[in-house]
Every structure is written in C-alpha cells, then in structure tokens.
Amino acid sequence: MDLRQFSALVEGLYDAALNPEGWHNVAPEMARAFQSGSCAIQLRELASGQTVILSHTDNYDAKALADYEAHFYATDMYVDGALKLGFGIPVLGNQLVDDSVLLNSELYADWCKGIGVFHLAGGMLAVDSSAMAGIGIHRAYGARGYSEDDRQTVGLLLPHLTRALQMYRRLHGLEQRGGIGLAALEALAVGVMVVNPAGRLLFSNTVAEKLLRKGQGITVSHGQLRAQFNDRDPMLQQTIREAVAGFSGRSSHAGMLVMPRRDGLPLSLLVCPAPGYRVGTDRLQAAAIIFVNNPDDRITPTEAALTAQFRLTPAEARLTAALLDGEHADDYAVRTGLSPHTVKTQLKAVFAKTGCGRQADLVRTVLSNPILRMCRQG
C-alpha cells in the first residue's frame, strides 16, 4: 500500500465519523487497499453485549450479518484472541488461532467458510467506556496469508479508526439526544421559543411558529422577537435580558408577560433562563426560553385519550369532547340526534367516572392534566 492509498483510507475514516453514511464505503475501501475480498468493522456495546456490524463488504449478506449478530459473535475466536493480546494491537489471524483449530471449528464450518473468511489482519479497539470495536480484513482459504508489512500497516490505521469511531459515537449520540429533545418540544401543547440576549429567535416549535406567522401579540422582525404593540416591546426585551442574566447568576428568575392582540384573547408568555449554546470552541452564550399559549389553539384531548384516562365508553368520550369544546349539552343532543334524557344519562356516567359534580369541574380536571393536553385533537 502506498502513501496515497493510506491517506485516502484515513480521510475516509474521518468522513464517516462526520457523516454516518460514509461507513458504507470504509470496509470496501479497506479490502481493496489490502487486496482482499472481505472486511468488516464491528461495534460491541459492553453493557448489553449487542454487536453491530457497522461497515462490511458485499460477502456479508443479510443472512451472514444476522447469524453473526445473533450467534457467532459469541464464539468468534479471532475476537477472543485479539482481546487477550490487548486493545490497539495489530494482529494476524494465525497469531490468534491455529489454522487447524479454526478449520475444524463450528465458526468456520457454519459461517466463515460461506463468506470466504480465513486469513485475517485486524485488531480490537477500546472506543469509550461503554463500547469496543474490532476490524477484520480477510482472505479466503487457499489465498495467500497476510505479511508482517500488512500487520504493521493495520497498526498505523488503528489509532485513526479508534478516533473516528469515538467521534462518530459522540456526534451520533448528540444527534439522537437532540432529536429526542425536539420531538418532546413538538409534543407540547404550548409554544416554545429560544432567543439570545438580543431577542434574536434561535428556535421555535410548531405551536410557536403558528403564532408568529399570524403576527398577533408577538412577531419576528429581522430575526428578532418583538411585541405586536410598540409600547409592550421594551417590557418584552427587558424580561428577556433579565432571564439571560438569571442563567448567569446575576439576577433572579423567570418573568411572566401578557401580550394583548388586536384580534382575540391576549397571549401569556413565561420567560425563563435557559442553558446556553456554544459559540466557537470555548464560549457559552446564554439564552432565554419562552413558553407561550395560543388561546386559539384547540386543546381538546382525543376521544381515545379520554376513554383511556377515565374508562369512558365511546359515546361518553364523544360527549366529553364536545363539552370541552364549549358545546352545551342541549345543543349536543340536537346536533347528534340524541334525546336530552340519553345525553343526561351519559353525562351522569361521565361525572361518576371522572369524580366531577359539575361541567366546570370536568373541564378543569381534564385540561389541568398535561398528558391529556398533549393528546389534543389535530
């Protein structure tokens, strides 16, 4: 392998660390560089014991992958031997297991032989406190074995592979946590916005975006969150600054604001200190998180959620949803074609199951449950 090939392999490793799709190319490129027909890179979770083949050549078909991840990872003599030598040490297959022992093993007969794996050059890696990894570059039985030069070249690649896997794990974990956090914010029945100290909007969930598009109560002008009425804007900006100062320990706590609208009920805003976001490599910029209600948003829970929470019948759930939407029981009877007596009977059953004695109590009981509010109708 010449220097250009080696550099290309290293570049591919770091590309894969930043772009997970790049791992598809790593094993095939490794195999070609070592004039081999097979290569695989595996990740092993230490706590669960789960093993995943992160990158592989085409000889690892769906059955081979499934069989290895379900069974043969536990009897992989190459891995066992490499672990005995230690992490980060480049090895050849005949250093780990005698050829005759391998040829007579279940691993070879039921798995390796079918995908053309016999000679090996590779090693095991300590990725982080919760995972280790392994790379194996293979040739089939009857092909020439790997040389000492091959082993040394693998040794030069192992530190780069370790670092690339560490970067991948860290970035992949951040992406997963970020995705979970965004999904949680989107599920809320209130609007959520994040702004910097100058009031510049950094994030808004779907509920907040709907409000901002209407421009009622609050709006965005040149990227900055503003009050609809000029006389309310200084108060909004001051509250944001105080919240940011609260995060850094210079001030107290969150502030609540009421923002009037030309059309409709006023908005309620809760402005809180928020963990900052990083600017550059070492400076953490403080921010404020703003929760805002949408008085026009329909927050009636789904009938399925009402049924699950209170064990209502479908008919009782439909009635409850109508009452939560502000419909009078008599009007509900007319609209649905039910007799007033039937509706009254259903309402008594709803009160009994929810522990409420009046319609106002029912509305308060349901809408004070944040989980039911999240299960709102579309």
CATH number of the domain bearing residue 260: 3.30.450.20
Predicted confidence pLDDT, tens digits, the chain (378 residues):
788 889 999 999 998 888 888 899 999 999 999 999 999 999 888 887 788 888 999 999 999 999 988 888 888 888 888 888 889 999 999 999 999 999 999 999 999 999 999 999 999 999 888 889 999 999 999 999 999 999 999 999 999 999 999 888 887 765 555 566 677 777 777 889 989 888 999 888 888 998 898 888 999 998 999 999 999 999 999 999 888 876 544 444 568 899 998 888 899 999 988 765 544 444 456 788 999 987 777 678 889 999 999 999 999 999 999 998 889 999 999 999 999 999 999 999 999 999 998 988 998 898 888 788 777 765
Q: What is the pLDDT of residue 121?
A: 95
The pTM (predicted TM-score) of the whole model is 0.54
Does residue 173 sit in the same domain as residue 213?
no
Q: Is 29 inside a domain boundary?
A: yes
Q: Is 54 inside a domain boundary?
A: yes
Which domain range does residue 324 map to?
A: 303-374
Q: What is the pLDDT of residue 135?
A: 95
Does residue 166 sit in the same domain as residue 277?
no
CB 206 within 8 A of CB 189: no
Does residue 104 sit in the same domain as residue 85?
yes
Q: What is the pLDDT of residue 278?
A: 46
Alpha helices in the chain (DSSP H): 3-18, 23-33, 62-70, 77-85, 93-96, 99-103, 106-107, 113-115, 148-187, 206-214, 233-247, 303-310, 314-324, 329-336, 340-354, 359-367, 370-374
In single-letter form, the type of residue at position 148 comes to: E
Last residue of a domain, one of 236, 271, 292: 292
Does residue 215 sit in the same domain as residue 86?
no
Does residue 24 sit in the same domain as residue 172?
yes
Q: Is 298 inside a domain boundary?
A: no
CATH number at residue 338: 1.10.10.10
Q: For the chain, how long is the longest CA-to-CA vector?
A: 91
CATH number at residue 102: 3.30.450.80
Q: How far is Cα 186 from Cα 208, in angstroms, rounded to an integer?
A: 10
Does residue 239 sit in the same domain as residue 370?
no
**Closest by Cα among 237, 233, 294, 289 to 265:** 294
Q: What is the pLDDT of residue 196?
A: 87
Q: How far is Cα 249 from Cα 243, in angstroms, rounded to an integer?
A: 10
Does residue 111 sit in the same domain as residue 239?
no
Does residue 83 sit in the same domain as residue 7?
yes
Does residue 164 sit in the same domain as residue 283?
no
Last residue of a domain, one of 125, 156, 178: 178
Does residue 81 sit in the same domain as residue 200?
no
**Is 332 exposed, middle or buried (CB count within 10 Å of its CB: 0-12, 13-18, 19+)?**
buried
Does residue 48 sit in the same domain as residue 129?
yes
Q: Give the long-range contacts of residues 283-288, CB within 8 A, separation 24 or more.
A: 285/196, 285/197, 286/196, 286/197, 286/244, 286/247, 286/248, 287/194, 287/195, 287/196, 287/197, 287/202, 287/244, 287/247, 288/194, 288/195, 288/196, 288/197, 288/240, 288/243, 288/244, 288/247
Last residue of a domain, one of 292, 316, 331: 292
* Number of domains comprising the chain: 3
